[in-house]
Structure 1
Amino acid sequence: MRAVLIRFIDCEGPGILEPILREKGYRISYHNAYDPRVRLMPEIHLNFDLIVMLGGPQSVADPDKQEFFKPYYEIVENVAIMPKKKLIGICLGSQIIARALGANVRPGTKGPETGFSDLQILKPEHPIFSGLNGDSVLAFHLHEDIFDIPVGAEHLLASEFYANQMFSYKNKIFAFQTHLEPTFGMLHVWQNVHKEFIAKGNGDFSDLETKQKTMEESAKIIFRNIINL
């Protein structure tokens, strides 16, 4: 099996997701969308079993960025109609998915959502939550844009700050507005790289290492369940 991980900024990689994919036997490739010298592989959806679109500072709500995002919208549209293909989107990646599936993506009216918070599991019977204890998961936030839930999708996770944190579509496309994937090292880097953005919010950044470990426990279960579907 083959997976391609699409990065929109160099510091927002797959985190704990990459070793899980390798554990499951995936051969992994990277595409750096932020590098103008790199062209997206033609018909990339035909060459990989799993496509992962990661986070980045670009905005799907920016009208001047639509030409840039067009090939990524097309990936979503193709995966949605093809059997035996899977797509995971995280943060910006989730917004690309939402837009491609016809939902609105826009700046949130409350400003940036940052730091750690608990997310409510809206459908605990969904197979991606099998093996979790409790009705919530700890997650990390670093976004201001938000999405509506596309028609035909299942709304799966919600926070008190912004309700639409995750949805699935046809049990093959999984969109996470929130971050479950970062390692402790990634969080430390993000605090420096995104410090101006973080300063605009008032999220919880206390005890990062302990919270990251707690988040990782549930994130591994969710990601493994998605891969096993």
Structure 2
Amino acid sequence: MINDNIKVIAFDADDTLWVNETYFREAENEFASLLSNYETENKIHQELFKKEIENLPLYGYGIKGFVLSMMECALEISNGKLSGEISSKILQIGKDMLEKPVIVLDNVEEVLQVLSKKYKLIVATKGDLLDQEKKLKKSGILQYFHHIEVMSEKKEDDYTKLLKHIDTQPKDFLMVGNSLKSDILPILNIGGQAIHVPFHTTWQYEQVNSSTLNEDYLTINNIKDLLNFV
């Protein structure tokens, strides 16, 4: 159960406040189809994922790094014979992703309206700074948040720095997000509280076998259920 000390509630953005991962799955499928003359689509998916993880230290998270990984993966799969036409189509996949509509998930704004009257609300998300700022502006929910933090990583040290920056103790902090790996476990490890709101699809890199966990966190099926606990 969430305690009564909570003063700050932080929300992950992608797939907690609005749709995101669905667009990556669509892009991956389009990419695999483009290169299907060179390799099986299943193998292309595997190679792209490996390339993304390999490049995370260089590019970080977000669409721009994803596009660079697609280009590099395509060059390797084609043995350097990638046509200019396919290269242009890969770049267009990225541009289309950056122009996708921001679809705020059901009940999100209602929950923010209620909670903003009692708590300080912030966004704590990973990704490309420019892209996340654009999505927040397009979302129509920016006004509910006191602070926006776009993080390069979401590990214990990163959350500790965030809490220091906003002058908040872990016991007073609640994180709400869809990723056990990034939104839930690091916060619990530093003494904060967390509520897991699963999304219907999760990037492979963010997946955790929840059945092996014995952690003190809540899982809710819809963000509206958050109002029952805070």
Q: 1 or 2, which has the higher strand percentage? A: 1
Structure 1-normalised TM-score? 0.31
Larger Rg: 2
Q: Which has the higher helix share?
A: 2
Higher relative contact order (CA 8 A, sep 6+): 2
